[in-house]
Amino acid sequence: MALIVQKYGGSSVADATSIKRVAKRVAEAKRAGHDVVVVVSAMGDTTDELIDLAQQVTPLPPQREMDILLTAGERISMSLLAMAIHNLGVEAKSFTGQQAGVITDEAYGKARIIDVTPSRIRQTLAQGSVAIVAGFQGVNPTTNDVTTLGRGGSDTTAVALAASLMADVCEIYTDVDGVFTADPRIVPNARKLDRVSYDEMLELAASGAKVLVLRCVEYARRYGVPIHVRSSFTTHTGTLVTDQPAAEGEIVEQPIIAGVAHDRSEAKITVVGVPDVPGKAARIFQVVAGAGVNIDMIVQNVSVAATGLTDISFTLPATDGAAGTAALTEHQPDIGFASLQYDDTIGKLSLIGAGMKSHPGVSAKLFAALADAGINIEMISTSEIRISVVTRADSLDEAVRAVHTAFELDSTEDEAVVYGGTGR
Ligand code: ADP
Ligand code: ASP
Ligand code: MG
């Protein structure tokens, strides 16, 4: 008998029929003798719809109210799922994040979990019931207000509960069969990975592969929680995210490349005509950081000798575009740049693989694949196990497919299946 944490994403509980299908799965695990804790997301695109609704009421919703609004989505799915499980003759009780003991800091909309005290969940399991927990939410103990963990945060709830309960595994059920070498919505012949290391999964998630949210992978690595990403629509084995070898003492040869990720959520700001003297870059990025904006890539042009001026470009989340631009404009007189250019029609492609540390020629092959496809590279950045490039947004899909093929990642077997979801 094991303690299993299962998480079902929005596309797996999109309507009543899906909720009943998930309930059957949960009941089967319970009847097989396991202790089962289930974390659920809001139904389908509920969270997006609630955000749209708030925008219709006011352009600037107060963050506290926004979090109260968004936590409602998961309360609907958790109670409906508990009812559906009950209907199958299995005891089940649902809990909000607060009731489940998910304690966070005070940052509305992007709260971090600081502690998990799941005594009510333990009690429920001890009584022989299934415990259902609303994902993506917690409580700030200072104000007693509910908080949300940021988009995709139910994955983090699941891993945090699995760590705290010392679960045997955390199963993340979604609308594809696991983690693939690229998003199957863009590359139909992407290949499913049987295993992937925490480091590679971290880079994939940080680079836009939203099948797992970045924070949940950070959490899993810190506490050594094995994650099994799989489909709620089939019984296929999915992808194991772990650093454990497949079998005791087994040495598996690492493929050089784990996959290709893409991200359309960033924008680029170019600060034009910056005096090329020490301290200007520091000022620019102090101002941007002061506005609470995280930046990603940075490129500085060679300065034009005659003018002593240079351009500095950087990327940031498009949702922070207005804040970043406003902060820089306010400080234009003291920084002394000529103008700002804002571009939100960019895309980012990232190639990830632990093997690139020890294999020369990976960048050369990446750039050649993009050149052959006629795709221009605007910015480049690297880590030990990742190379990222910025392209035009409308050539990103083509770029991903070209790179996937160039690195021989295309599957020769059946096409990857996307079972549900709207891709929103
Ligand atoms: P859920 O609602 O279950 O949380 P998400 O939409 O957050 O599901 O994540 C699943 C989606 O992630 C898939 O439908 C797929 O389009 C996307 N995705 C992006 N990159 C990958 C990848 N490398 N492997 C698998 N899925 C990916
Ligand atoms: N419902 C939330 C979202 O759509 C959390 C999640 O699904 O993980 O972002
Ligand atoms: Mg998700």
In a domain, 217, yes or no: yes
- The sheet that has 259-263: what strands, in order across it? 259-263, 346-352, 386-392, 379-383
Nearest ligand to the CA atom of 175 = 1
- Partners of 381 in beta bridges: 388
Alpha-carbon gap, residue 166 to 157, rounded angstroms: 14
In a domain, 63, yes or no: yes
* Ligand 2: centre distance to CA 35 (Å): 25
What residue owns the CA closest to ligand 2's atom 8? 152
In a domain, 358, yes or no: no
Backbone angles phi, psi at 321, to 5 degrees: -55, -45
How many Cα atoms within 13 Å fall on the side-chain side of residue 420?
A: 20
Return the exposure string of 358-377: e unless at least 16 CB atoms fall within 10 Å of the residue's CB, then b.
eeeebeeebbebbeebebee
Instruction: Give 324-364 pLDDT, tens digit per residue.
Output: 999 999 999 999 999 999 999 999 999 999 999 888 899 99
- Partners of 146 in beta bridges: 139
176, 231, 264, 351, best to mutate for ligand 1 pocket (most atoms within 8 Å of CB) = 176
- Partners of 310 in beta bridges: 274
Q: Ligand 2 pocket, 129 CB below 6 A?
A: no
Q: Ligand 1 pocket, 418 CB below 6 A?
A: yes
Q: 170 CB contacts (<8 Å, ≥6 apart)? A: 5, 7, 158, 159, 162, 220, 225, 226, 227, 228
Q: Which atom of ligand 1 is nearest to the CA of 418?
A: 14
What residue owns the CA closest to ligand 2's atom 6? 152
Report the predicted TM-score, pTM, of the whole model to 2 decimal places.
0.94
pLDDT for residue 246: 74
59 close to 1: Cβ distance less than 8 angstroms:
no
Using alpha carbons only, what angle is made at residue 112 by residues 109 and 118, rounded to the nearest 5 degrees?
A: 115
pLDDT for residue 250: 65
pLDDT for residue 253: 62
Q: Ligand 1 pocket, 233 CB below 6 A?
A: no
Token digits of residue 274: 């910056």
In a domain, 265, yes or no: no
Q: Ligand 1 pocket, 185 CB below 6 A?
A: yes
* Ligand 2: centre distance to CA 42 (Å): 6
The gap from C-alpha 410 to its chain's centroid, in whole angstroms, comes to 23
- Give the H/E segment covering residue 323: helix 321-330
Alpha-carbon gap, residue 234 to 98, rounded angstroms: 32
228 close to 170: Cβ distance less than 8 angstroms:
yes
DSSP E strands, 364-424: 379-383, 386-392
pLDDT for residue 414: 79
Q: Ligand 1 pocket, 39 CB below 6 A?
A: no
* Ligand 2: centre distance to CA 46 (Å): 9
**At 108, is the secondary structure helix, strand, or coil?**
coil
Domain CATH number, residue 121: 3.40.1160.10
pLDDT for residue 251: 60
Q: For the chain, which residues score pLDDT lower than 50? A: none
Q: Ligand 1 pocket, 201 CB below 6 A?
A: no
In a domain, 178, yes or no: yes
In a domain, 384, yes or no: no
Domain region containing 55: 3-244
What proportions of the chain, in percent to the nearest 5, are helix, strand and coil? 35, 25, 40
**Direct distance between the N- and C-terminal alpha carbons of the chain, in angstroms, rounded to an integer:** 37
In a domain, 87, yes or no: yes
Q: Residue for token digits 């939410």?
A: 137
Alpha-carbon gap, residue 399 to 374, rounded angstroms: 9
Nearest ligand to the CA atom of 40 = 2
Alpha-carbon gap, residue 280 to 261, rounded angstroms: 33
pLDDT for residue 387: 97
Alpha-carbon gap, residue 314 to 295, rounded angstroms: 7
> CA nearest 82: which of 39, 37, 23?
23
Residue type at 113 in one-letter notation: I
Q: Would you say the C-alpha torsion 51, 53, 56, 58 has a positive or negative sign? A: negative
Q: Ligand 1 pocket, 18 CB below 6 A?
A: no
Q: Ligand 2 pocket, 42 CB below 6 A?
A: yes
Number of domains in the chain: 1
Q: Would you say the C-alpha torsion 195, 200, 202, 207 has a positive or negative sign? A: negative
Alpha-carbon gap, residue 82 to 172, rounded angstroms: 18
CA-based radius of gyration for the chain? 23
What residue owns the CA closest to ligand 2's atom 4? 47
* Ligand 1: centre distance to CA 226 (Å): 18
In a domain, 207, yes or no: yes
* Ligand 2: centre distance to CA 136 (Å): 6
